[in-house]
Chains A and B, each alone.
Chain A
Amino acid sequence: KAGVTQTPRYLIKTRGQQVTLSCSPISGHRSVSWYQQTPGQGLQFLFEYFSETQRNKGNFPGRFSGRQFSNSRSEMNVSTLELGDSALYLCASSLREPTNEKLFFGSGTQLSVL
């Protein structure tokens, strides 16, 4: 079974631009979570989707948004990029639903904002 796939692997953007990251969960998983990982802040929860519905959102500004499609693939978008948005963005899908236990993470998208 293929794991969680995130694309692209690396991104370089400049301040003010917007970016879209993609995540394909493990086949059959309907829950997708997004986390931001930075050296100083660890992993911070962004949002979680289950069957195309956002069930929970973390404490991030409205510039961060996401969605989930009917095939469970998910995208997250960051608009008006700031230098502080540079981070590894991780996507995870859950084996155990609907409690969202046993998350399986992708390798992440490394975003650099210049």
Chain B
Amino acid sequence: GENVEQHPSTLSVQEGDSAVIKCTYSDSASNYFPWYKQELGKGPQLIIDIRSNVGEKKDQRIAVTLNKTAKHFSLHITETQPEDSAVYFCASRFNDYKLSFGAGTTVTVRA
């Protein structure tokens, strides 16, 4: 099955700085890559997603890049704010109906 590795496991950044989380996937047939944010006591919330026919996608302070050749994709958060503190999960979809998730990155934004 699909294997997704996510790094780093924890990330501490100063407010206003950028944060970058990287994921690699194993199956070249994977075609959909979402990112989720999970706050304490809540379920994961979709923040951005990208399909394999697109190299980059941006939504305000959040961007995702995809390198199909290297089989990795990254989440970039610019101008971080305290409310960005959460656990972030990357995922990839190998077949149509299930996602394989990375282990998560705990992001802490220091004021």
Contacts and interface: CB of A to CB of B under 8 A. Distances in A.
Among the interface residues B41, B93, B96, B103, which one has the most CB atoms of the partner chain A within 10 A? B96
Given A90-B44, A101-B49, A59 B1 contact: yes
How many B residues are at the interface, by size bracket? 20 to 34
Given A33-B98, A45-B98, A104 B46 contact: yes
Contacts of B99: 33, 43, 45, 103
Contacts of B32: 99, 101
A25 interface: no
Interface string B80-111: 00000000010101011111111110000000
Contacts of A48: 97-98
Interface string A90-114: 1010000011111111111000000
Contacts of A45: 98-100
A58 interface: yes
Contacts of A98: 96
Contact of B96 (A100, A104, A106, A107): A100
A44 B97 CA distance: 13
B45 interface: yes
A15 interface: no
A103 to B, nearest CB: 7
Given A48-B97, A98-B96, A102-B34, A43 B43 contact: no
Nearest to B51: A101
Given A42-B101, A42-B104, A107 B43 contact: yes
A4 interface: yes
7 tightest A-B CB contacts, nearest first = A105-B43, A43-B101, A56-B97, A45-B98, A42-B103, A48-B97, A55-B97
Given A42-B101, A99-B32, 14 more contacts: A35-B101, A41-B103, A42-B102, A45-B98, A48-B97, A55-B96, A98-B96, A99-B96, A100-B93, A100-B98, A101-B34, A101-B49, A103-B34, A107-B41
